[in-house]
Amino acid sequence: MMRDHGRLVAYGIGAPVLFFTDERITKGLLSSGQARTVASYCLIGVVLQVALAMMNKHAMWACYYAEEKPALKSRTLFRFADWFSCQYWIDLSFDLGSVLLFAIAR
């Protein structure tokens, strides 16, 4: 299952850019003492999406490679990659975690 993680990453990067380039928002964040917290939540949300994209990329590579070399299918790494690629709940958990972090940062 291939997914586009780019939208959440763009939001996680774009929101802080907006927060810190709009003078009114920047003043509000700085005066509230929450600027570091907002930036941290957005950064962690982006890191979750990048980590998920990397895990999916490597799992799919292993699945493809095992199709090219069937003898590898019995190895633990390739069995794990096949299992991982079928686990929608992992993608959903990372996405919900990112959305939650972005919502809290807002």
Considering only CA atoms, which of 94, 2, 13 is closest in space to residue 52? Answer: 94
Q: Output the six-digit token pair for 10.
A: 């763009």
pLDDT for residue 26: 80
Domain ranges of the chain: 6-105
Across 89-100, average pLDDT: 95
Q: What is the per-residue pLDDT for 1?
A: 44
CA angle, 96 as apex, 91 and 98 as ends, to 5°? 95
C-beta separation of 54 from 48 below 8 A? no
Q: How many percent of the chain have pLDDT more than 90?
A: 57
What is the per-residue pLDDT across 19-50, written as a single tens digit (0 to 9) for each?
A: 778 888 888 888 888 888 888 998 999 999 99
pLDDT at position 47 = 93
Q: Is the pTM of this model over 0.95?
A: no
Q: Which residue has the tokens 């919502």?
A: 103
Average pLDDT of the residues in 67-93: 96
Residue pair 38/102 in contact by the 8 Å Cβ criterion: no
